[in-house]
Structure formats: C-alpha cells, structure tokens
Amino acid sequence: MAFQLLREDYGMFQLFYVEVPGYEAPKMESLGKLLFDREGNWIYDGDKLTIDEQEEAAGFITGHRGAMDRLIKDIL
C-alpha cells in the first residue's frame, strides 16, 4: 500500500491513496511516497520531508486507517 504525498501551489499537503498501478495524481509538487506493509511499518521514499514531517504523515495515515478499521468492524 502506498500514499502519494503532494503539495498544491498554495502550500497545502494532499495525500492520495495509490493502489492501482499507473494511477496519476493531479499535477502538484511531489513530496515522495509513504509505503506501508501489512504490520503497519512504513518507509518514506523521497527527500523533501523532514523526519518529523514523515512521522506526522505516517501517524495521520495509520491513525485514520485504525479508525476506519474499527468503524468497519462495528458496522459488520
């Protein structure tokens, strides 16, 4: 699983979940990718984010995924 990190012209960050090979995100400044394995480990593939920014983005994504997993469990 991978998330494409992009910065819009006015400085806002966007995260795009990338699952389909060949997916093209809107044209914005690429900040790299966060790659996750099934155990929730991640690695940053890029050179534009500081370590703090990488950890913040990964924490946001994994926290969001955890909340969605709990919601799906509750629904089912």
In this prediction, residue 44 carries a pLDDT of 92
Q: Are 44 and 22 in contact (CB under 8 A)?
A: no
In this prediction, residue 53 carries a pLDDT of 87
In this prediction, residue 35 carries a pLDDT of 86
pTM of this structure:
0.53
Which residues are CB-neighbours of 70 under 8 A, at least 6 positions away? none
In this prediction, residue 61 carries a pLDDT of 80
Domain boundaries, the chain: 2-75
Distance CA 8, CA 60 (A): 19
CA atoms 38, 64, 59, 19: torsion sign: positive
In this prediction, residue 47 carries a pLDDT of 93
**31 CB neighbour count, 10 Å cutoff:** 21
pLDDT digits (tens, 9 = 90+) for 13-71: 555 555 566 666 566 677 888 888 878 788 999 998 899 888 888 888 887 766 767 77
Distance CA 62, CA 23 (A): 22
